[in-house]
Amino acid sequence: MTKNDFTFEGRKIAFRDGLTLAAALEDTGERRLRYTAKDGQRGIFCGMGVCQDCLVTVDGHPNQRACMIRAKAGMEVCRQTALPALETAAQPLETATPEVIRVDVAVVGGGAAGLSAAIAAREAGASVVLLDERKTTGGQYYKQTAGDIAALDTQQAEGADLVRSAAASGARILSGTEIWGAFDGPLLLAETEGSAVVVRPKALVVATGAYERPVMVPGWTLPGVMTTGAAQTLWRSYRTTPGKRVLICGSGPLNAQVAVELAKGGCEIAAILDTAPHPGQRLGEAAAMALADPKLSAKGAMLIAALRRRGIPVRHKTRLLRVDQDAERLRAVFEDARGRETAETVDAVCMNDGFQPQNEILRLLGAEMTYDTRYGHLRCTRDRAMATTVPRLFAAGDCAGLGGAPAARIEGTIAGRAAAAFSQNRQTVDATAAENLALARHRRFQDHLWRVYDPGPQDIDDIAPGTMICRCEEITLAEAEDALNAETGHLGTLKRASRIGMGRCQGRYCGPVAARLVARRTGRPIEDFSFFAPRIPIKPVAISVILAVEEVLGGDED
């Protein structure tokens, strides 16, 4: 075996330094990573550890997320079945004593908001630890490169500068660290490289960002169908493309950006399918965007020009209907505003239909949430210092409600400074006048931007009855509706009757749809408790880590 290869299903896979298993396998065209209980095939979908669908068995250890694990020479990797063989079951559990970190401020999330919060807290004199689940810190917006790959553009370069500033500030950065439990105190339970970590901060800043909302159609669970952000991660972080010919669908500026980036990487973009009308029909909003942020508006105009220059077709008021397996490729069928159906045969279908805040930690700790009907997601209640309704808990960035990266950086700075003041028993410092003005400007820009696109969730009436809405438990919309017919009530009754939301991803994708189903059936408005309650562990964790933490907490009276 050469220095840089591993085996997958007995076949040698060569890889470049820094690649994840998912990126290395995608590089060779290997997309089928596991089989479900109903013989369904799954591959990379979210690309950020949320969906739990790229599970493989590595060196006999099942349930390893290929998108989160770095490829290493000599690994033995195989596709995972619904009931993987537990080759390590007879081995004794190692319960090494966990590290206990006591610190002024803990920051969860290594993106624009989290890095900014860590820097601000350190500048205010607080001791800081930043916990980031990604092995390469930078978040989903900056998407830093792996290995020795050079920065792709100014966006990545800005991210690299922010990461360096956070490291230089003296903040301790723990990359590859998964938070799986959060309790009052605050108290965080985490796992890093198989070892347990207990974090007891005086103040906590949650900056966990958001994940993409998919377009639910028949076939959206097939290998080769992935979020637009997953395709962007493959290219920006690993210089791997999702295929030679790609279709992009949904609504939002990320789709246009990734189309241009993939085209530069050598992909043929079959089309961008956007459910929103042509921007020319909303010129007033475009003008308001330009007034709010001329720089970002100019960037958007350059994207549109790049799409035209490269001949990438953008089909407005067009929605994806289904994706079929076509030998080794995919056949995507879509419908325009006149009801005409068209199909494209492609290697990959990428989808982004808005975002959902990754707010599990905030909800676990009891932070107040309100439902935003326009965006179809929960927003966290905060004051001007980014403090939530829970003492010692601050929230910054998209986890509290979508606002974009520029706003997230400012919110992170405000939250980090305020958390530091609280941890040191000083008066909490609100945002400065300049920060408030900048935030207001960025939020105006985002508001007008999303009026140009289609930010709301997919209409339930647009989801075909046979469409799988719970990809973990493989439950269709029709099955969920039948369960409601049998026992109309709340989300809990639906969950018990159908098992929807009981899979590995804990309802992160099906939960919002299920909440809308119940609301429509009962006539009650959607609120925080309309969604599945986060449950511990909120992310996968080894049993040995849980046992190690129990031993420490059992003798800890604080």
Output Rg (C-alpha) for the chain, integer angstroms.
Answer: 23
**CATH code, residues 5-79:** 3.10.20.440
The CATH number of domain 99-211+356-452 is 3.90.870.10? no
Q: CB within 8 A of 552, min separation 6: which ones? A: 97, 98, 100, 196, 198
Q: CB within 8 A of 255, min separation 6: which ones? A: 228, 248, 249, 272, 274, 350, 352
Q: Which amino acid is at 491?
A: L
Whole-number pLDDT of residue 554: 66
The percentage of residues in the chain with a pLDDT greater than 90, rounded to a whole number, is: 77
* pTM of this structure: 0.94
User: What region does 163 belong to: left with phi over 0, alpha with psi -120 to 50, or beta?
Assistant: alpha
Contact 548/97 with Cβ under 8 angstroms? yes
For the stretch 105-150, pLDDT in tens is 999 999 999 999 999 999 999 999 999 999 889 999 999 998 778 8
Cβ density class 85-118: b for 16+ within 10 Å, e for less = eeeeeeeeeebeebeebebbbbbbbbbbbbbbbb
For the stretch 23-78, pLDDT in tens is 999 999 999 999 999 999 999 999 999 999 999 999 998 999 999 999 999 999 99
For the stretch 244-285, pLDDT in tens is 999 999 999 999 999 999 999 999 999 999 999 988 788 888
For the stretch 362-421, pLDDT in tens is 999 999 999 999 999 999 999 999 999 999 999 999 999 999 999 999 999 999 999 999
Strand partners, 246: 269, 348
For the stretch 157-195, pLDDT in tens is 999 999 999 999 999 999 999 999 999 999 999 999 888
Whole-number pLDDT of residue 1: 36
Contact 288/448 with Cβ under 8 angstroms? yes
Average pLDDT of the chain, as a whole number: 92
Which residue in 545, 529, 525, 548 sits closest to 537, CA to CA? 545
The CATH number of domain 214-353 is 1.10.150.120? no
For the stretch 298-336, pLDDT in tens is 888 899 999 999 999 999 999 999 999 999 999 999 999
In the chain, CATH 3.50.50.60 covers: 99-211+356-452, 214-353
Helices (H) and strands (E) in the chain, counts: 15, 28
In the chain, CATH 3.10.20.440 covers: 5-79
Whole-number pLDDT of residue 2: 42
The dihedral through the CA atoms of 339, 310, 211, 78 has a sign that is: positive
Which residue in 59, 100, 91 sits closest to 543, CA to CA? 91
Of 547 and 355, more confident: 355
Superfamily of domain 460-526: BFD-like [2Fe-2S]-binding domain (1.10.10.1100)
